[in-house]
Amino acid sequence: MTKTKPLFKLADVSKVFTTGAGDFTALDKVNVDIYPGEFLGIIGKSGAGKSTLLNMISGVSQISSGEVIYTDPADGTTQPIHALDQNELATWRGKNVGIVYQSFELLPMLNLVDNVILPQDFAGFFQRWKSRKLAQELLDEVEIGEHSHKIPAHISGGQKQRVAIARALVNDPQVIIADEPTGSLDTKTSDRIFKIFEKLVARGKTVVMVTHDMNLADRFDRVLHIVDGVVSTPELDGNGKIKPADLRAIAETEDDEAENLKGVKLDPIITTGNTHKKELAIKLDSVIKTYVGPAGEFTALKGIDLEFNYGDFVAIVGKSGSGKSTLLNMLTGIDHPTSGTVTIGGNNIYDLSESERAQWRGKNMGIVFQFFQLLPTLTMVENTMLPMDYTNTFDPAERFDRAMDLLKMVGLEEEAHKFPDSLSTGQQQSAAIARSMATDPSIIVADEPTGNLDTKSANTIINLFNKLSADGKTILIVTHDPGLTRFTHRTITLADGLVVNREDEPELSVGHSQTDQLPSPDHTEQPVPVPGD
């Protein structure tokens, strides 16, 4: 890579969010140059400012101060990204930037080809046969082409992320901005995706990628390390690799995140008077889910038998492709099992019609998917009220006050009248959790609910889930974070469509898993399986 004129120049860029606890500085006078054809890695712990930095580069969120200048590598013209209006930014992004966010959401009613085509349609580049051919080629490139005519519900979470990457490439942008693009993928698939990015860089593309995976640090052309909104550049040795001392320092900083979570003190749980604790909430009996495609049949769930009581707080873990997302689809009534039954609250939910099941789901189940998106044209309180309006739950005169109470529970009452793009990623995720509780559901299903949160915000959400559990609500969370499994009653591990552990609810202090309470013979903690291991 030859460093010429920077593609992006960030000069004294700061971003300040206003919260109920006061102003929060997510980025503090960042000065960074990004060059054409560079593979730039951004590393930092949760809440460090990584996603905010990507938002500044792509113009998704307005900076508080400073400048972001983009130089077109073709003709050398410059554009002050920070000074463009929303329409100008949309046009610029459509031509120059492909974005793969960790919270990227595929449209559920479209097949994979049609999802990939969407950016061309938005940018006015769509040509029916040419665009479809290109979409198929990109799906082949990310090694999911054989599933191109499936809908997102029929592929795994890791496969969905690969579709998101193909979609980001469809307009042949100069820059690919990727926020944890391999975060949901197993090691082998992650390596494939990383190699795709390397090939794009070899063809002259610029890739800016956020990752928490320290094993990838030496594979980037350059690495930025961000801590509390401050960016530093680790020193390189004569071979262009990060010096061992700097690499160790970064690793120690990241380890601090795990230690901080390990030291989190949960509020005491009071279960006295909880009459729901031993009442059966969910029962899965011999649930099998088989998908049929051009490549043949694939069985995502292989005879699952599980029971959950009201008041259970359960972690579901497993690698990408293990069946976690499919299991959630079965529990929420989004997708039909091939065989077996799913009984919730004493009713087989698949005896209901699609419309009846949608109404049932809206009233009885709160869902926080990993790719949950708040509606950008509604304020936080309006977003939170929406489920009540949709299901006609609670008196209309009560809905506003209830929504405000829920936002207060997650620490967002001061942001109630703001729009989503005015909040940090962690605040938006907290708002999504408040919204999931709007109809007072008996069951809350959450996919990586703290994945985008800093330690303090994650602590707030964990405590909230614990309190809801103590009140008799069933909480099921999918997580890759072994630290969170320490705070749940049970841990269910999936592998290749099977439950590979059977932890009955232990007679232990609430808020800790069995594996956390029972030491191994040498008195060291046993690791919990994490996606990508």
pLDDT tier, 368 (very low <50, low <70, confident <90, very high otherwise): confident
Query: pLDDT for 281-301, tens place per residue?
Result: 999 999 999 987 666 788 889
Q: What per-residue confidence (pLDDT) applies to 524?
A: 28
Residues 6+ apart with CB under 8 A from 28: 14, 228, 229, 230
Q: What per-residue confidence (pLDDT) applies to 87?
A: 79
| Secondary structure (DSSP) of 264-295 | PPPPPP--TT-TTTTSEEEEEEEEEEEEEETT
pLDDT tier, 157 (very low <50, low <70, confident <90, very high otherwise): low
Among 77, 470, 132, CA closest to 273: 470
pLDDT value at 45 more than 90: no
Beta strands in 90-182 (DSSP E): 97-100, 175-179
Q: Of 155 and 188, which is predicted with more confidence?
A: 155
Same CATH fold, 309-337+347-517 and 38-54+94-262? yes
Mean pLDDT of 11-38: 84
Q: Of 108 and 201, which is predicted with more confidence?
A: 201
pLDDT tier, 485 (very low <50, low <70, confident <90, very high otherwise): confident
Q: What per-residue confidence (pLDDT) applies to 525?
A: 27
pLDDT value at 357 more than 80: yes
Mean pLDDT of the chain: 78
pLDDT tier, 20 (very low <50, low <70, confident <90, very high otherwise): low
Q: What per-residue confidence (pLDDT) applies to 308?
A: 93
pLDDT tier, 444 (very low <50, low <70, confident <90, very high otherwise): very high
Instruction: Give the up-direction half-sphere exposure of residue 18: CA atoms within 13 A in the CB hemisphere.
Output: 8
- The CATH H-level superfamily of 38-54+94-262 is P-loop containing nucleotide triphosphate hydrolases (3.40.50.300)
Among 187, 193, 235, CA closest to 215: 187
Query: pLDDT for 247-270, tens place per residue?
Result: 665 655 544 444 443 444 444 333
pLDDT value at 271 more than 50: no
Q: Of 134 and 268, which is predicted with more confidence?
A: 134
Question: How many Cβ atoms are within 10 Å of 270's Cβ, its own excluded?
Answer: 11
**Alpha-carbon dihedral sign for residues 113, 116, 117, 122:** positive
Mean pLDDT of 426-430: 80
Residues 6+ apart with CB under 8 A from 431: 374, 380, 383, 384, 407, 410, 412, 415, 420, 423
Q: Of 371 and 406, which is predicted with more confidence?
A: 406
Q: What angle separates helix 380-391 from helix 425-436, to the nearest 10 degrees?
A: 20
Query: pLDDT for 169-199, tens place per residue?
Result: 888 889 999 888 776 666 776 787 788 889 8
Q: What per-residue confidence (pLDDT) applies to 530?
A: 26
Mean pLDDT of 72-94: 86
When mean pLDDT is compared across 25-34, 149-158, 217-226, 335-344, the lowest value belongs to 149-158
Query: pLDDT for 193-221, tens place per residue?
Result: 788 889 889 988 999 998 877 777 888 98
Q: Of 156 and 228, which is predicted with more confidence?
A: 228
Most confident among 104-113, 199-208, 318-327 (mean pLDDT): 199-208
Question: How many Cβ atoms are within 10 Å of 271's Cβ, its own excluded?
Answer: 12
Q: What per-residue confidence (pLDDT) applies to 458?
A: 76
d(CA 158, CA 147): 13
Going from the C-alpha of 341 to that of each of 280, 288, 514, the distances in angstroms are 15, 9, 28
Residues 6+ apart with CB under 8 A from 384: 403, 406, 407, 431, 434, 435, 438
Q: Which phi and psi (to 5°) does residue 115 adopt?
A: -65, -40
Does domain 309-337+347-517 fall under CATH 3.40.640.10? My reply is no
Q: What angle separates helix 324-332 from helix 157-169, to the nearest 10 degrees?
A: 100
DSSP H or E segment with residue 511? none
Question: How many Cβ atoms are within 10 Å of 28's Cβ, its own excluded?
Answer: 16
Going from the C-alpha of 182 to that of each of 46, 52, 331, the distances in angstroms are 16, 18, 26
386-418 per-residue burial string, b: 16 or more CB within 10 A, e: under 16: bbbeebebbeeeebeebbbebbebbbbeebbeb
pLDDT value at 511 more than 50: no
Q: Of 6 and 521, which is predicted with more confidence?
A: 6
Pairing, β 296-309 against β 280-293: antiparallel
Q: What per-residue confidence (pLDDT) applies to 61?
A: 77
Q: What per-residue confidence (pLDDT) applies to 183?
A: 67
List the beta bridge partners of residue 285.
341
Residues 6+ apart with CB under 8 A from 416: 379, 380, 381, 403, 404, 407
Domain-by-domain residue ranges, the chain? 38-54+94-262, 309-337+347-517
Sole residue written with tokens 């190699």:
195
Percent of the chain with pLDDT over 90: 21
When mean pLDDT is compared across 92-101, 138-147, 247-256, 356-365, the lowest value belongs to 247-256
Two structure tokens written together for 405? 């109470």
Mean pLDDT of 129-144: 86
Most confident among 181-190, 315-324, 330-339 (mean pLDDT): 330-339
List the beta bridge partners of residue 492.
316
d(CA 318, CA 7): 39
pLDDT value at 499 more than 80: yes
Percent of the chain with pLDDT over 70: 76
d(CA 41, CA 221): 8
Contact 258, 251 (CB under 8 A): no
Among 311, 307, 317, CA closest to 286: 307
pLDDT value at 451 more than 50: yes
Q: What per-residue confidence (pLDDT) applies to 381?
A: 92
Query: pLDDT for 375-423, tens place per residue?
Result: 766 789 988 998 888 788 889 899 999 999 999 988 899 999 988 877 8
Contact 492, 499 (CB under 8 A): yes
Q: What per-residue confidence (pLDDT) applies to 452?
A: 63
Cα first-last separation, the chain: 32
Mean pLDDT of 523-528: 28
pLDDT value at 487 more than 60: yes
Q: What per-residue confidence (pLDDT) applies to 269?
A: 36
**Alpha-carbon dihedral sign for residues 367, 183, 120, 129:** negative
Contact 389, 401 (CB under 8 A): no
For residue 298, give the 3-state DSSP assignment.
strand
Going from the C-alpha of 476 to that of each of 81, 368, 462, 503, the distances in angstroms are 42, 10, 12, 14
pLDDT tier, 369 (very low <50, low <70, confident <90, very high otherwise): low
Q: What per-residue confidence (pLDDT) applies to 197?
A: 86
Q: What per-residue confidence (pLDDT) applies to 206?
A: 94
Mean pLDDT of 29-44: 92
Going from the C-alpha of 349 to that of each of 61, 333, 363, the distances in angstroms are 41, 7, 13
pLDDT value at 97 more than 60: yes
d(CA 127, CA 168): 17
